[in-house]
Amino acid sequence: MMVWAINMLVLSIGILIVGMIKPNWILFWMDKPVRMPIVVLSAVLFMVFAVMFGEATKEKQQESNNSVQQLNESKGDVTPTVEAADLTKVEK
């Protein structure tokens, strides 16, 4: 999902730059395109990028926490123990 988010960022920046220079390339179906719809479109795409990036980061962090927790649990099963010495059979 991280790759999709980065692609969305590149797309929104590309649409913004191209649309500010030549708005009729982006809004080709309009007779006299203006720049405001291009700004709105790129802002919406940037918001989608931000949400996707946040979710991908959260998912990645949860996976790393789960792997650390599983590693700690597996180490806990093999904890070495030391038996106490029997001091009742001490010779005098």
pLDDT of residue 89: 67
pTM of the model: 0.65
How far apart, in whole angstroms, are the C-alpha atoms of residue 45 and residue 18? 15
pLDDT of residue 16: 94
Contacts of 59 (CB under 8 A, 6+ apart): 1
pLDDT of residue 71: 76
- Report the number of secondary-structure helices (H) and strands (E) in the chain: 3, 0
- pLDDT (tens, 9 = 90+) of the chain, 92 residues, equals 788 889 999 999 999 999 999 999 999 999 999 999 999 999 999 999 999 999 999 988 888 888 877 777 776 655 556 676 666 766 65
